[in-house]
Chains A and B, each alone.
Chain A
Amino acid sequence: AQTVTQSQPEMSVQEAETVTLSCTYDTSESDYYLFWYKQPPSRQMILVIRQEAYKQQNATENRFSVNFQKAAKSFSLKISDSQLGDAAMYFCAYRSYAGGTSYGKLTFGQGTILTVHP
């Protein structure tokens, strides 16, 4: 079974600065997808960015980018030019490529609370 670990329960950053959230995972599969979800106080789960494991190039979405290290099973999220609206809980998640034995399950890490200081 796959596991996802976020070792930073809380992080903080100054507005306009850069912050990196860490995520590691464990799997025996070679093809899979990784995601970062944002959960603001409204509780809505918002997809921030996704990465296909077969792609070496790191995904980027505006101010959000990832550092995907497949051999190390590491998937960190970098937020550049942090804004007050980035304050939220962030979850790292794993999903198998084609269902596999996990039947489409999204496996989540424990979450990291990000605080943005003005």
Chain B
Amino acid sequence: EAQVTQNPRYLITVTGKKLTVTCSQNMNHEYMSWYRQDPGLGLRQIYYSMNVEVTDKGDVPEGYKVSRKEKRNFPLILESPSPNQTSLYFCASSISTGGYYGYTFGSGTRLTVV
């Protein structure tokens, strides 16, 4: 089954404790992206990657890191999480940067930083 697998589904952590949210897709998609969803703001792009070793900032990159060492994986790293990073996070992939196909989304990670 074609899918984007994101883990964990829920995560509660303390301020400053490094964490990684994993994302993997099995569709050989070139384009991958991370979003955060907050009430009243919709989804906002954090980082994106157009291919292996090619990543760039989205609209809200502060406090986050990513890497793309393999085409299928695109982990999101919070090196020192803060309470303002409490949010719902989505990983998504697309066959290209072109628009027709939209995105395939992961099932989301609910992160709480206390």
Binding site for B on A (CB under 8 A): 4, 6, 9, 32-33, 35, 42-45, 47, 50, 52, 91, 93, 95-99, 103-106, 108-111
* Chain B residues within 8 Å of A103, by CB: 48, 50, 56, 97
25 A-B residue pairs with Cβ-Cβ distance under 8 Å, sorted by A, are: A6-B42, A9-B40, A32-B99, A35-B102, A43-B107, A43-B110, A45-B90, A45-B92, A45-B105, A45-B108, A91-B43, A95-B102, A97-B99, A98-B99, A104-B33, A104-B50, A104-B94, A106-B43, A106-B45, A106-B92, A108-B35, A108-B42, A108-B44, A109-B42, A110-B42
Q: Is the CB of B42 within 8 A of A105?
A: no
Choose from B41, B100, B110 the contact partner of A33 (Cβ within 8 Å).
B100
Interface residue tally of chain B, by bracket?
20 to 34
Closest B-chain residue to A4, C-beta based? B42
Give the docked Cα–Cα distance between A108 and B44 (Å): 7
Prevailing SS type, chain B contact patch: strand
B74 at the interface (CB under 8 A from A): no
Q: Is the CB of A33 within 8 A of B107?
A: no
Binding site for A on B (CB under 8 A): 31, 33, 35, 40-45, 48, 50, 56, 58, 88, 90, 92, 94, 96-100, 102-103, 105, 107-108, 110
Choose from B48, B88, B96 the contact partner of A105 (Cβ within 8 Å).
B48
Interface hub of B45, B96, B97 (most chain A Cβ within 10 A) = B97
Give the docked Cα–Cα distance between A68 and B72 (Å): 35
* Chain A residues within 8 Å of B92, by CB: 45, 106
Closest A-chain residue to B88, C-beta based? A43
Q: Is the CB of A104 within 8 A of B40?
A: no
* Chain A residues within 8 Å of B110, by CB: 43
* Chain B residues within 8 Å of A50, by CB: 100, 102
Given contacts A43-B88, A98-B98, contact A106 B42 (CB under 8 A): no
